[in-house]
Each structure stands twice: as structure tokens, then as C-alpha cells.
A and B are shown apart, each in its own frame.
Chain A
Amino acid sequence: MTLEIVRSIASGIPWTLAVTLAAFAIGAALGAPLCAMRFSSFTLVRGLAGALTLFLRAIPPLVWLFLIFFGLGFGYLQINPFEAAAVGLGLIAAANMAEIYRGALASIHHGQWEAAFALNLSARHRFLDVIAPQLLRVALPSGASYAIGLLKDTAIASTIGVSEIAFQAYHTSQRTFHSLDVYAIAGLLYILISLPMAWATRWADVRLRARVAR
């Protein structure tokens, strides 16, 4: 019985991972231009980026998913639950990653920019060779914490029908009436997925830090 319950909840793991990965990838990628916009020399672009960040973060993830899936999904564009969840969580992730990049950028000593200028590196090389590698190292721990948070946020994708862990747990409990066991197992699964993520991050962080810490 228990094994059957575990197996049916665990069948949600691939979807949980897929939504997490897709949303994080969208966030990590779109966060970069959003962060760059906040440093633009045009007031309008800066303002737009600020407004966008606020807008994306102020609305609860659940409302975003409903807005995209039920709102846009009916009549405006063809979108399946997985895509709606990935896009909705991905956009919110973009706003948060942009802020993480911004903090990382601010933590890079201005002397690094000055040295890059004085060595006559072009804007592209200043960024790609000098700033970006350091920025990614600084952003790694907060980015990873955010990814772990995102993993848990994917549970709300169950509300629009993505068959991830929470979705499977809900249906299993409806079927078996072992609600306590079922949700305890679901909780355990989230812990089991988060732990290796946290360990991997710590390992990478220590390794990179040992090489570059001042």
C-alpha cells in the first residue's frame, strides 16, 4: 500500500523538475537583459525595467499562473499547463534573478572596471572577460537559494493541472484517504530533491571561492 502511494506521488518528480528547470532557465536568461536595462543611460529604459520588476514581483505567482493559463489560454493563445507554469514562474524568476545580478554587480569592486578600462579592453571584453565571470561567482549562492525556493513554488502548478508532485499527492490522497501519509511523503520528496541541490551549490561555491577570494 505505502509503496504504491510512494510510487504514484513520485511519478510527479519529472514534472516538478521540468517546471523548475524551465522556469529557472527562463529567469536566468531574461534576468540578464532586465538587469542591464536597470543600468541603462536612458531614464525611460531604467524606469521601464524598474516597473517591470515591481509588476512581476508584486503579483502572487498563483495569480500569474491563472492569468496566463485561464486568462490568455482561453481564446488568446494556445498554451498547455506546463508551458503556462514555466512561463509564469519563469517571468517572476527573471525579475528576481535581475535583482540578484544587480546585487552581484554592485559587489564587484569598481577597481575591476577601472583596470579593464585602463587596459583598453572593449566594452564586450570588459564584460565577458572581467565582470561576468566574477558576477556569476558572486550570484551563485543566491541564485541557487532562489532555485530551491522555485522548486517548492512549482507546487502551485498543480492548480492549473501540471501533474507534478503536489498534483499527484492531491489525487493520491483523494483516492486512498491517507492524507497525512501522502502529504508527508510529498514533503519528504521535496526535501530529497532540495538537499543535493544545496550540497552541489555549497561544493561549487567553496571551490570557486577558494580560487578567487581576496
Chain B
Amino acid sequence: MNADPLLEREGSRRKASETPLLRLEGVHKRYAEFEAVAGVDLQVKTGEVVAIIGPSGSGKSTLLRCINQLEPPTAGRVTVGDVSIDAEREPSRRELMQLRRSVGMVFQSFNLFPHLTVLRNISLAQERVMGRSRKQADEVSRQLLARVGLADKADQYPNRCSGGQQQRIAIARALALGPQLMLFDEPTSALDPELGLEVHAVIRELAANGMTMIVVTHEMHFAESVSERVIVMADGRIVEEGTSAQVMRDPTSERAKRFLRAVADR
């Protein structure tokens, strides 16, 4: 990967600081009859990388989407930095903007804008949200494209790029707004394994540069290697939490054991 013009490189991952960047307190998400997230408490410190694993329908993605209020929680509180949103009361538009400003998100289905070139995809929100000029924004976008190894794709339309390339572009698009926290919602589930690897490489590079991240994934090796902390969710709850090695090799809860056995047998 090309030299990184935006972040100073450090030999090893920055040490996680003590104040939590993200705090979830009693977060619930209920749809009519179904409780997707049934009370989650979680703290993530600056510089930490947390992987969330668990069976389908366990609420992992919903939890992630509760953080940036894409799905407003039905109960509980979400705090990112110094912005706190309580489900008890409707957040103001300003609060939502403030919260989302510090949170970047990458989706399973990339969700690039198909009518814009790759460069415009990355520049658009910089201009509209941060007030950068087109020239400034495009310059930042080009640097980010180089960082994800796609400098030559700037003027293409997304549909001319492979899935792996599209996902790397989507990562660049989220990074362009300078988030403090990055959320990855099964970033490689829609990709064949080989293309998944190039996306994993980009995410690893971010981790190595100290980006705070939460990664929802089905890929155990990736979860284990990218994160220092792994969370297992089932039925809307956290059923196991610990260092990657501990959770993967020596889970304590029955539910987590069952899930990890099932994954290992596959």
C-alpha cells in the first residue's frame, strides 16, 4: 500500500487510552414483536478494535446501526465522545449531526452512489458536510484513494470496479470525513474470499494506525487477528466478551461455546 499522507505512521498500534470513546448503556431495539437488541452495555476506548461475532439474527448489525442512530434505539443511551443520545427523548437534528460527524460507517453492500464517479463519491460529503471546496475535497479524496490502493480509479464509475475495490472506495469515503470511530458492518460478507482479503488488508492498516473500530464479521480468523477484544452476541445480548485468544479458545458461556463449535465444524 502507498505511503500514507494523512496519518502519521507508528511502528505499533497506539496504546488505547483510558476514557471510553463509545459508551452504550442498556441499549434496546424492539420492533413490534421482536427484540433485536435486548439490553447491551459496552465501552470502547480510543484506539481499541472490537470485533463482534455471533449467529445470524443475533442483533450484531442492529447494534452497530444503533450506534450512529441509523436505527434509533428504543431504550438506553449511546454516547460517542461528548455527545450523548438517550432513547428517552427525541434527539435534535444538531445532536444527530454531531454524533454522526464522529462516526464513519462501512456497509456490507458498499452503498456507493452509482451516479457519481469514484472521486465524487468520496468528495461529496466533504463539500456538503465539512464545507471544503471542491479542490480541497478532491485532493483529500485522491490521497485516500492512493491509501486504499485505487488511485487509478478516481474517474471511473463504481459499477466498473470489483466488489473489493468498491468496498475499499466505501472505506475511503467514510474516512474522508475524519471520523473518530469506524463501524464495519460485515464488510466482506458480499465478497468472494480473495477480494475479501484486500479489504481486510485495508482494515488492518487502519487498525495499525490507531483507528478506533467496531467490526461485525462472520470471519473468525479476521476477527481474531484484527481485534484485541472479541464480543459474541446471541439473541440480542452479549454472551461472551474477552481478548480474542480467550474468547476463541476458551469461551465460558454455553451459548458462545455452542456458536464457536458450530463455526469450527463448518
Give residues in A with beta carbon < 8 Å to B: 109, 111-112, 114-115, 117-122, 125, 129-130, 133-134, 137, 211-214
Contacts and interface: CB of A to CB of B under 8 A. Distances in A.
Interface of B: 68, 70, 97, 100-101, 103-105, 107, 109-115, 124-125, 128-129, 157, 159, 170, 173-174, 177
Contacts of B101: 120
A130 B128 CA distance: 12
Contacts of A137: 115
Contact of A114 (B111, B115, B159, B177): B111
Query: Which 8 residue pairs across A and B have the least CB separation, nearest first?
Result: A115-B111, A111-B111, A119-B125, A118-B105, A212-B114, A120-B100, A125-B128, A133-B115
A118 B70 contact: yes
Contact of B100 (A109, A111, A118, A134): A118
Chain A contact residues: helix, strand, loop or mixed: helix
B125 A117 contact: no
Central interface residue in B103, B125, B173, by most chain A CB within 10 Å? B125
Given A111-B109, A211-B157, A119 B115 contact: no
Contact of A120 (B111, B129, B159): B129
B113 A130 contact: yes
Contact of B177 (A117, A119, A214): A119
29 contacts: A111-B109, A111-B111, A112-B111, A114-B70, A114-B111, A115-B107, A115-B111, A117-B70, A117-B100, A118-B70, A118-B100, A118-B107, A119-B125, A119-B177, A120-B101, A121-B125, A121-B128, A121-B129, A122-B128, A122-B129, A129-B124, A129-B128, A130-B113, A134-B114, A211-B159, A212-B114, A212-B159, A213-B159, A214-B159
Contacts of A129: 124, 128
A102 B177 CA distance: 32
Contacts of A211: 115, 157, 159
A117 B174 CA distance: 12
B128 A114 contact: no
Central interface residue in A114, A118, A134, by most chain B CB within 10 Å? A118
